[in-house]
Amino acid sequence: MNALPTDHFLNRELSLLAFNERVLAQAQNTSVPLLERLKFICIVSSNMDEFFEVRVAGLKERAAIEPHHTTPDGMTAKQTMHAAEPRIRTLIDKQYEILNSDILPKLALEGVRFLRRNHWNEAQAAWVRAYFFRELMPVLTPIGLDPSHPFPRVLNKSLNFAVELAGRDAFGRSSGAAIVQAPRSLPRVIQMPEEIAGCEYGFVFLSSILHAHVNELFSGMQVEGCYQFRVTRNSELFVDEEEIKNLRDALKGELSQRNFGDAVRLEVADSCSTEMIDFLLGQFGLKHADLYQVNGLVNLVRLMQIPDQVDKPELKFLPYLPSTPAALSKFDDIFSVIRKGDVLLHHPFQSFQPVIDFITQAAADPNVLAIRQTVYRTGTDSQLMEALMRAAQSGKEVTVVVELMARFDEEANINWAGKLEQAGAHVVYGVVGYKTHAKMALVVRREHNELRRYVHLGTGNYHARTARLYTDFGLMTCHDGICNDVNEVFTQLTGLGSATHLQHLLQSPFSMHTGMIAMIQREAEHARAGKPARIFAKMNALLEPKIILALYEASQAGVEIDLVIRGACALKPGHPGLSSNIRLRSVIGRFLEHTRVFYFLNEGAENLYLSSADWMDRNFFRRIEVAFPILDPRLKKRVIAEGIKPYLKDNTQAWEMDDTGTYTLRRPRRALPISAQASLLTSLTK
């Protein structure tokens, strides 16, 4: 395939910013309950933290090392940063405006107030003072800046205060500045007793308490200014996997340094003095382009705890109870159910409990001889990991492929790897140079003097909490061909040997890319022959250039293509002469869209795959991934009915993208309002 002109691609970083703009629109949407709108504010902040820690940090490195390198859209790293900066500033300004001018005033009317220090009454001020001396003063360590006390190491994303001082201390020193670091053990938002707050839920910020009493830390000196600030650092880990002998030990050493990577962003309160701003920028080696002055807390993510502390159901999404497939609810033995037919689970509308049961029953079943499972993200508290440990302790052969390089979950995975090894499980870390991202579990069971395999394959992680927040599909089957393929992938991960042909699964880095392109090209051939041709693909991101080229060529051949891409997308839909038959939308709602569904009409055969992989370079070439087919006609109809059709009909939460990368929210107009997620909640939950 020949390379396309650069103007046929959109920029990845700008596309990610567009995604966060769509998330922020949820915070602005008055039909969303108030406390949920607050959560979306926090989600945007969390997303932007990662954007700076990973994407901006990477751009800065690329600009320094390879200044002339361009991405498929033709932009250098410096050009991308220049284009992104005004978008970022507009996004952040709008975020604080929505919070301060809309959400917080409306919460106050509902009895949820954030009490600012310039509005404290006498009783509130007294309570704050007592709290300061009881809870804060004993753990705060003010650091005066002078030749004996250099500027302290500031942790990534930690809350800090820069203090301007006048006068001399007990030793006659007059440095003029000090730094106060807020210990991470302290809560950033403190609930005040109702009788003191004067409202049902009254909260005070840690920053407000410290601002009010910072003078207590500098006896005899005059505090002329106190400003909260926060530094975001490069959080990418560098481990030379070719040179190390033990990946886990090397990663432990690297994790300790993540909090002190190169600074990429400085956030300060908008009241911060120009002198202090210049001083802080100099300390962190940053420029004014890296400075973000905000009207409020420098870390809005800390507000995520508020909805859990406020018992006001009317300000939250309606609760729901995930259902369980009828076949599973009728029988206790999950293996007998799977033998009768494949089981499809659609989370979060259907419970994640059957996945837990699959492993816990295997761990307790005396007929189960072996369990193999991949672990990418599973959380710090996991019933699945506990079950695997029990299985190993009982003498079963337990093999766990733990991905130690799962970004921001490295520490949890290191801890689980150690616990699993202590329990007697075989723990491996996949293949050097490739992340193991496939979601697979395999159980080997003795039945009637024969060994039978059972597998679970999923589009999402083995993580019970995120299974309530992300949309994902999971398949449980004992289909011989699929089980043999899964066993072969595990053999590759744990042993050595050449890749073999898989009968049903597509696998990265071997067959998934070529397999997907072949199916796209087959639809194009059908269209050229005058046959109906159709492609549907739903995923988190679409960036890989050759896949995009194949989709363009299919569109030009007459294939009707619908794409549902949650986040970053480099493809230009609906461009005359290039992609006229491609329609692209992004659905943003209560749940994070996480399912990957790939459908090809194939003259009515309807090839349908689910996967943990997006159409990105990393998923195709630098990860161990699988795409698994849905072979049962009954389940295939379910995936089409639940994972495809509702998303194409959605006219309330679907954003349609044009060939400039601009998104427009669909409106129902004359048609009835339709939300994919709401319809699935109605049809699948209790």
Residue of 287, 292, 303 whose CA lies nearest to 92: 292
So what's the pLDDT on residue 141?
87
**d(C-alpha 586, C-alpha 647), whole Å:** 9
564 pLDDT band, cuts 50/70/90, is very high
pLDDT digit string, tens, across residues 629-644: 999 999 999 999 999 9
**d(C-alpha 431, C-alpha 247), whole Å:** 11
- 646 and 679 Cβ atoms separated by less than 8 Å: yes
**d(C-alpha 50, C-alpha 38), whole Å:** 19
pLDDT digit string, tens, across residues 331-390: 889 999 999 999 999 999 999 999 999 999 999 999 999 999 999 888 788 899 999 999
Q: Is it the case that residue 420 has pLDDT exceeding 80?
A: yes
So what's the pLDDT on residue 289?
96
Distance of CA 211 to the CA centre of its chain: 33
Q: Is it the case that residue 238 has pLDDT exceeding 80?
A: no
8, 346, 437, 513: which one is catalytic?
437
Which two structure tokens, joined as six digits, stand for 498? 């050449």
Q: Output phi, psi for 519, to 5 deg.
A: -70, -35
Which two structure tokens, joined as six digits, stand for 180? 């106060």
Which CA distances in Å does 363 have to 331, 394, 567?
A: 18, 8, 38
So what's the pLDDT on residue 243?
44
Pairing of strands 177-181, 592-593: unpaired
Residue of 161, 158, 151 whose CA lies nearest to 184: 158
- 453 and 367 Cβ atoms separated by less than 8 Å: no
448 as an active site residue: the answer is no
Q: Is it the case that residue 240 has pLDDT exceeding 60?
A: no
**Structural domains present in the chain:** 6-315 (3.30.1840.10), 326-500 (3.30.870.10), 507-684 (3.30.870.10)
Cis amide prior to 348 (ω within 30 degrees) = yes
As beta bridge partners, residue 471 has 593
Helices (H), 576-652: 617-621, 633-639, 645-649
Mean pLDDT calculated for residue range 240-246: 47
Residue of 523, 534, 525, 550 whose CA lies nearest to 620: 550
Pairing of strands 439-447, 654-657: unpaired
So what's the pLDDT on residue 626?
98
pLDDT digit string, tens, across residues 595-625: 999 999 999 999 999 999 999 999 999 999 9
Mean pLDDT calculated for residue range 284-305: 95
> Taken in order 662, 663, 667, 668, is the CA torsion positive or negative?
positive
Q: Is it the case that residue 171 has pLDDT exceeding 60?
A: no
Residue of 600, 525, 589 whose CA lies nearest to 562: 600
**d(C-alpha 684, C-alpha 440), whole Å:** 24
Mean pLDDT calculated for residue range 442-455: 96
Give the residue with greater pLDDT, 239 vs 511: 511
Residue type, 328: L
